[in-house]
Amino acid sequence: MLRVLQTARLSTRCSSSFVSRMRFLNGLKQNDDVCSVALQDARMFLFHRLSPLLQRNPQGTFRTAELRTSDVQSLLENIGSDRTLLQESVLIGCTGQNQAQFCLDIGSLDQAAAEKVCGGTFVDLRKSFFLLSRREAPLVAKAQALLRWHQTSGFCSATGQPTHRNQAGSQRTCSSSGIIYYPKMSPVVIVLVSDGKRCLLGRQASFPRGMYSALAGFCDMGETLEETLIREVAEEVGLEVQSFSFSSSQHWPFPQSSFMMACHASVSPAHSQLCVDHSELEDARWFSQQEVLAALQSPPSHRGDPPALWLPPKHAVAHRLITEWTQETGGVVE
């Protein structure tokens, strides 16, 4: 069987290593046997009821605990579970050397025992986002979103019959109708509105005290990105967008895997009077470049009262939009 995996790796050989990695990954999703073999010699990311396993570096910072399959197999034996749990692993990517990466939720096992054996701690995903590097957070978010999708997609919404996954965990199929389900993200437009001098930030009651962010809204069925953007700004703060430009995108795992399409938009300074829909937003305000730069340069300490303006964490695409705006308007973010 190992020859099967080597063949899969060789068959993806081509000039670009990135292309060969993408083809190797695609092959694992298409072929259960090859995927099973790849799982035997993979890099594993563990979760416990959707909280990722983190380990502390000697410097006191945190990283995701990346284990070998053999480590996980001995962990499972060590804390009394059988090896079949390994089959519940879900493919999330591969390393530069075409070694498959899988995630596995061991929520059915004793958390403290698993933490002791692995020398790590399972940390709530939202908290992990503040602890992990910008490089690691997206893979952990993807893994958690896939594990959660499997945990909530066990039955076909058309027939009510059980669904079964493929080895990679990239799809589930209804056992009676054959309907195939794929993991879903909900498209969301997130937009930083400016009137040329100020930027508009809003907050929901659910946000931490003092935190303001860019406006965001889910795309309604059939809407284009443009239509969602101008509708959401009109709905939430009563303004008419004059123009907008696309900035970047991001998978955001909260609350149920949103696909964030981040844009900058402008409104006429002559028509910048806010009319906030308080059923959606607790507050929305225009902020000067000076206020935003101050907030970017002095993120809140987690002690004492929050500052007047607290911005989303660096991993959030809203933070990127706000930083881009300050740079476009001549501010310098250190």
Where on the chain is the footprint of Mg ion (CB under 5 A)?
A: 216-217
Q: Does 130 bind ligand NAI (CB under 6 A)?
A: no
Decide if residue 258 touches ligand NAI (CB under 6 A): yes
Cα torsion 132, 133, 135, 139 to 10°: value is 0
Torsion of CA 109, 101, 134, 12, to 10 degrees: -170
- DSSP letter string over 1-51? -HHHHHHHHHHT--S-HHHHHHHHHHHHHH-HHHHHHHHHT-EEEEEETTE
Smallest distance from the beta carbon of 211 to Mg ion, in angstroms? 14
8, 174, 318, 322: residue in contact with ligand NAI (rule CB under 6 A): 318
Report the distance separating Cα 14 and Cα 43, nearest Å: 24
**In the bound complex, what is the minimum distance in angstroms from residue 241's beta carbon to ligand NAI?**
15
Query: Looking at beta carbons only, is 216 or 239 nearer to Mg ion?
Result: 216
Residue (89 or 144) nearer to ligand NAI, CB: 144
Identify any residues that bridge with 103 across adjacent strands, giving them in sequence order: 45, 90
Burial letters 60-69, b for 16+ CB under 10 A, else e:
eebebbbbeb
Contact pattern for ligand NAI over residues 78 through 107, marking x by CB under 6 A: ------------------------------
Among the residue ranges 115-123, 124-132, 238-246, 310-318, the one whose residues contact ligand NAI (CB under 6 A): 310-318
> Which is nearer to Mg ion, 123 or 267 (by Cβ)?
267
Residue 97 neighbours by CB under 8 Å, 6+ apart: none
Listing DSSP states for 193-253 in one string gives EE-SSEEEEEE-TTSPTTB-B-EEEEPPTT--HHHHHHHHHHHHH-----EEEEEEEEEE-
Rounded Cα distance, 256 and 184, in Å: 9
The region of 8-16, 127-135, 150-158, 213-221 touching ligand NAI under the rule CB under 6 A is 213-221
Q: Which is nearer to Mg ion, 28 or 190 (CB)?
A: 190
Q: Is residue 254 at the binding interface for ligand NAI, with CB under 6 A as the rule?
A: yes
Instruction: Based on the shown chain and the rule CB under 6 A, indicate whether residue 233 belongs to the binding site for ligand NAI.
Output: no
Q: Which of 213, 241, 296, 310 binds ligand NAI (CB under 6 A)?
A: 213
Q: How far apart are CA 252 and CA 131, in angstroms?
A: 16
User: Per-residue string for binding with ligand NAI, 161-200, x by CB under 6 A?
Assistant: -------------------------x-x-x----------
Tell me: does residue 252 bind ligand NAI (CB under 6 A): yes
